[in-house]
Amino acid sequence: MKGLTKNIQLNLQLGGTLNAPWGSERAGFTNTGKINRSDWGLIWNTLLDTGGLMVGEEVTISCEIELSNAGQKVLTMELKPRVDKLLVM
């Protein structure tokens, strides 16, 4: 994967927003998706004694994200509380 750049799509879902007691605004997100190892040149694998493969082809990506404006209005966003696509480069 080193030196290899690809565009992937991940599902970004807004968990909610709140105004914290100390003045900052916060938003929480969940970001999930799947990639195939072979798309990134990762082809190593080995057979188990039971005949199956040690490493699966599909990799699940999952992130929990919290954003805060630290009490300053630096960014205004309009978000839909539905799953949208996020392009990671």
Q: How many domains does the chain have?
A: 1
Average pLDDT by stretches of 10, the chain with 89 residues: 81 88 86 88 76 78 85 55 46
**Is 75 a domain residue?**
yes
Q: What is the pLDDT of residue 70?
A: 66
**Is 82 a domain residue?**
yes
**Is 35 a domain residue?**
yes
Enclosing domain of residue 81: 8-88
Q: What is the pLDDT of residue 30?
A: 92
Q: What is the pLDDT of residue 32?
A: 93
Which tokens is 36 given? 């195939």
Three-class SS string for 5-57? CCCEEEEEEEEEEEECCCCCEEEEEEEEEEEEHHHHCCCCCCECCCCCECCCC
**Is 48 a domain residue?**
yes
**CATH number for 32:** 2.40.128.110
